Amino acid sequence: MGNGDCSTNRRSFLKAIPVITAGAAVARPARAAGPGQGGHHWAMLVDIRQCIGCQACTVSCFMENAVPENSFRTIVSTYAVEQVHQGKKEVGTFVLPRLCNHCDNPPCVPVCPVGATFKMPDGEVVVNAERCVGCAYCVQACPYDARFINHETGKADKCTFCMHRLEAGLLPACVETCVGGARIFGDLNDADSEISQLMVEHKDELKVLKPEAGTHPNVFYIGLEHDFAGKVEGQGSLWHPSAEQE
């Protein structure tokens, strides 16, 4: 995706921003407005074909959200893949950008004993840190390994789609800094948004992670290999931002 495409993405996103009010930040449980139901339905589309595994998204998230050392809200896992081609073993790499999937049926919500984890009306799954007791039930319930206990606050932590940036009319930090333009963010209830148009254009190619979990994610993938959509055998290598690397 070129600079022109990125600018178009920003312009189309900003058109929807004036209708966001401070009330959207009020901590109250709600179901997201589904596509076509009115209101916003924020989602992300990741085009793996454009991802170069540079970790710019990880670094920008690390800086934007003060993520503690050796934790992550988003990251690109890298897998070594062995294939046999014409009788010869070939080893390649596969990159998989990961983050909270902001599910429409989030398993992290019902297991929270104090109601600290909840879904916003426009789709984000968030944590009320004032209520969170750090029990880690939600961390264990997440099938995407997208939550962690922040060792500095003792509270559950995760991606929020940079909700504070959305309220200011900005895209999530990982989207703004993606070198290859692999992350597209927008409103599924806006048929003219870039994400809606791309999802229609690539409807036969769209995949989500672990569809068998029944979580109905709001992070979609283009170019996701079938073997990586469900349970992945083996552990992807993770790049951990640390003070020594700054």
pLDDT tens digits, one per residue of 195-232: 999 999 999 999 999 999 999 999 999 999 887 777 55
Q: How far is CA 213 from CA 90, 208, 231, in A?
A: 32, 10, 10
The pTM assigned to this predicted structure is: 0.79
pLDDT tens digits, one per residue of 3-39: 455 444 544 444 443 332 222 222 333 344 455 455 8
- Give the class (CATH, top level) of 3-102+161-229: alpha beta
- Extents of the domains making up the chain: 3-102+161-229
pLDDT tens digits, one per residue of 103-140: 999 999 999 999 999 999 999 999 999 999 999 999 99
- Strands 219-222 and 42-47 come out as parallel
H/E/C letters for each residue in the chain?
Answer: CCHHHHHHHHHHHHHHHHHCCHHHHCCCCCCCCCCCCCCCCEEEEEEHHHCCCCCHHHHHHHHHCCCCCCCCCEEEEEEEEEEEECCEEEEEEEEEEEECCCCCCCCCCCCCCCCCEEECCCCCEEECCCCCCCCCHHHHHCCCCCCEECCCCCCEECCCCCHHHHHCCCCCHHHHHCCCCCEEEEECCCCCCHHHHHHHHCCCCCECCCHHHCCCCCEEEECCCHHHHCCCCCCCECCCCCHHHC
Choice between 2 and 61, residue whose per-residue pLDDT is larger: 61
**pLDDT over 90, % of the chain:** 67
